[in-house]
Amino acid sequence: MSIVEKLFSREKGSKRSSIMHPDIMVSRIYFSGSLNHGEAAVSRIAPIGCIAFSPTGGFLLSGSHFLSRWNTETLEKDTISFQRSTQIPITQVAVMTDEGKIIFSLSNGRVFLAHLHHNGGVGITRLGSHIESVSGLIRDTDNPNLGYSCGQDAFIKCFDIRSPHLTNLLECYRFENNPPLRLRLNGILQNPDDPMCITVCGNDPYVRVYDTRVLNGLDKVYLPRDLANGSTACIKGIAYSKMGQLLASYNNQKIYRFQQEMRLDPKSIRLPLHLNGVPICLSEARVYQGHTDDNQLDRHDITFFGSEDEYIA
């Protein structure tokens, strides 16, 4: 398939008939309804705070005051039961490459490993904690034992499920303050083109890409043209496509799609945005209608959807 054909396929969707088949859509709606109905008894007290698919897509996890596991084929649900001293809500969850190992965090910033044994038992290990609530958990796609977390305390941390502690990897700061102020983080991703690079978003308009091989390694920055020079908008969710395009959902009713070449060199940034004394002319990112939310603490999860990433959800 030529480059032109690939681009056309991505934009129009090469499998639209199968993706949008009524039976498939109904089953998806039914599964969503079952998820909501299954949690209805506790949702008035503990609404679902997070969901995550397993790497193979065989099951879905939902978290509230407990973890529930849903079989995506049979739609059967079971509760992952383990001893807890408190009923603090679960805020984030991620499934490791070994799908019997699950990482989850509580609203008090603590991060745990749940090891699902074949006999039905569950072993719990505390990996560490953030000072404030955890806003993102991801597994490392290259190393089955590693993962990353980000928090409202501005820290990006690395964890190894073989050792019970979190390692401070990076601390994020705002650009416009002198001295710099810490940046509350809202989401974290691993760059699909370079797994050693971690992408984060927070309570300012910049998407930051860090190289974990470099000390304080801020490598790239993305910023929409219409939010340059003083915007108070903040980013609530980010996502990568299979082709490396980056989505960012802002709290100003807009979703921006960045191409890789739209990145800025953070070493040259000073506000107002200039590069070597000359005002920066930012590339125009593709814009979609999004959501409005003035609550700085809420997230807007976002993702590409479809076999060719032709939809945004």
The tens digit of pLDDT for each residue in 209-249 reads 999 888 778 889 998 888 877 788 899 999 998 888 899 99
Output the CA–CA distances (angstroms, integers) from residue 14 to 5, 19, 189, in the order listed: 10, 9, 27
- pLDDT score, position 145: 95
pLDDT digits (tens, 9 = 90+) for 72-100: 888 888 888 776 656 788 999 999 999 99
Q: Chain-centre distance of CA 111, in angstroms? A: 16
* Domain spans, the chain: 1-38, 172-313
- Compute the distance between CA of residue 133 and CA of residue 185 in angstroms, rounded to an integer: 10
Q: Look up the pTM and report it.
A: 0.79
Lowest mean pLDDT among 41-45, 138-142, 269-273, 309-313: 41-45
- Compute the distance between CA of residue 228 and CA of residue 272 in angstroms, rounded to an integer: 8
* Contact residues for 222 (Cβ-Cβ < 8 A; gap 6+): 206, 207, 209, 246, 248, 258, 262, 263, 264, 285
pLDDT digits (tens, 9 = 90+) for 165-216: 889 999 999 987 778 899 999 999 998 888 899 999 999 999 999 998 887 7
pLDDT digits (tens, 9 = 90+) for 262-289: 877 777 665 555 544 444 556 678 888 8
Contacts 24+ apart (CB under 8 A), 280-284: 280/228, 282/223, 282/224, 282/225, 282/228, 283/225, 283/259, 284/225
- pLDDT score, position 273: 56
The H or E element that residue 272 is part of is none
| 203: its two tokens | 């309570």
- pLDDT score, position 183: 95
Phi, psi at residue 140, to the nearest 5°?
Answer: -80, 125
- Half-sphere exposure (CA, 13 Å, Cβ side) for 293? 18
Average pLDDT, the chain: 79
